[in-house]
């Protein structure tokens, strides 16, 4: 019965136009709007002058951004911090880009920045590249997984239209019997840096589903030379320890991000309920108005 309703819903015409009108007068709760999705392009307005267009395929992340906006819905604290960081960043990496929310935001905020987005899954990469071409952004989209070696690896894909979470050489899905081993290309960051003749990386988002340590290992000596600001997902304490070991000796401060409460400075990395951490130099942290705003919110809660 549920499948039948889904088929009928897909056939309903002009859903986007109906929802655009509805959104002007009323934004339903998440419990309701999770069922109010469509397929088509829509605009994400950042302010009176800046924004970007993205393709909605009926998935949760784009749907939440459609209804709630970029600063009130999915990963709202992380995205707000990212947006401010992008303003003064010249070279930006989005590692584990999926359909490109973070890299699209980076390019919309700072059109002059050189933005690189990495996504190894073929059909997801195609959506990423399409979204950037939709905006005529000159983002360099790379169909490779960032790791600690150059070559080939296995991901465990699903027979679905889209996938949000895969990792290199490991099956993290709960239903492993439906997984499809798929060969992808891998790339070390230091290899890519040399190929592109990059002299610095200012800002990086790393969301690679428990492959964060390997991604940073592939940075090689450039990690401690460039000292980029990192927005990184930490899914468990083992990853936290591995990341801390790699960045030891760099004058970094750690901030745990709670997408409901805000951001809080911490002494060490660890697993948290919302997983994202900001790792940056003290002068970067002190310059961010977003950190001050969300830190106040965190304390109040």
In the prediction, which pLDDT does 222 show?
98
In the prediction, which pLDDT does 5 show?
52
In the prediction, which pLDDT does 80 show?
95
92 pLDDT more than 70? yes
In the prediction, which pLDDT does 291 show?
79
Token pair for residue 218? Answer: 């592939």
Provide the mean pLDDT of the chain.
Answer: 89
Confidence at 298, pLDDT banded by 50, 70, 90: low
In the prediction, which pLDDT does 226 show?
98
In the prediction, which pLDDT does 169 show?
47
* pLDDT, mean of residues 196-208: 97
Rounded CA gap, 185 and 301, in Å?
44
Confidence at 154, pLDDT banded by 50, 70, 90: confident
In the prediction, which pLDDT does 167 show?
53
* β 253-258/262-266 pair status: antiparallel
* pLDDT, mean of residues 230-258: 95
pLDDT digits (tens, 9 = 90+) for 12-26: 778 999 999 999 999
* pLDDT, mean of residues 264-273: 90
pLDDT digits (tens, 9 = 90+) for 117-126: 999 999 899 9
Are 243 and 269 a contacting pair, CB within 8 Å?
yes
Beta carbons within 10 angstroms of residue 152's beta carbon: 10
Phi/psi for 11 (5° steps) reads -85, -10
Rounded CA gap, 118 and 97, in Å?
6
pLDDT digits (tens, 9 = 90+) for 276-286: 999 999 999 99
By CB atoms closer than 10 A (0-12, 13-18, 19+), residue 97 is buried
In the prediction, which pLDDT does 181 show?
78
Domain parsing of the chain, residue ranges: 1-66, 75-300
In the prediction, which pLDDT does 13 show?
75
Are 39 and 13 a contacting pair, CB within 8 Å?
no
Domain covering 75-300: architecture = 3-Layer(aba) Sandwich (3.40)
Please tell me what DSSP assigns to residue 167.
B
């Amino acid at each position: 019965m549920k499948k039948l309703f889904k088929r009928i819903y897909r056939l309903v015409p002009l859903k986007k136009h109906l929802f655009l009108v509805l959104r002007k007068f009323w934004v339903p709760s998440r419990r309701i709007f999770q069922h109010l999705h469509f397929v088509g392009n829509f605009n994400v307005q950042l302010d009176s002058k800046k924004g970007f267009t993205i393709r909605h395929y009926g998935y949760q992340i784009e749907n939440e951004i459609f209804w709630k906006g970029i600063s009130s819905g999915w990963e709202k604290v992380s995205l707000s911090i990212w947006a401010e960081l992008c303003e003064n960043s010249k070279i930006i990496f989005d590692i584990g880009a999926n359909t490109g929310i973070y890299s699209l935001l980076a390019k919309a905020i700072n059109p002059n920045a050189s933005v690189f987005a990495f996504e190894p899954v073929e059909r997801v990469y195609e959506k990423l590249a399409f979204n950037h071409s939709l905006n005529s952004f000159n983002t360099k989209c790379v169909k490779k997984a960032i790791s600690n070696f150059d070559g080939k690896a296995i991901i465990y894909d699903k027979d679905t239209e889209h996938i949000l979470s895969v990792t290199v050489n490991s099956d993290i899905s709960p239903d492993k019997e439906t997984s499809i081993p798929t060969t992808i290309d891998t790339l070390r960051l230091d290899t890519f840096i040399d190929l592109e003749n990059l002299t610095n990386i200012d800002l990086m988002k790393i969301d690679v589903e428990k492959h964060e340590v390997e991604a940073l290992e592939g940075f090689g000596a450039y990690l401690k030379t460039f000292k980029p600001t990192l927005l990184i997902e930490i899914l468990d304490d083992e990853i936290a320890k591995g990341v801390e070991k790699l960045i030891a000796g760099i004058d970094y401060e750690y901030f745990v991000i709670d997408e409901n409460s805000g951001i809080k400075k911490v002494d060490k990395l660890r697993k948290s309920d919302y997983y994202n951490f900001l790792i940056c130099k003290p002068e970067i942290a002190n310059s961010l108005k977003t950190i001050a705003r969300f830190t106040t919110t965190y304390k109040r809660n």
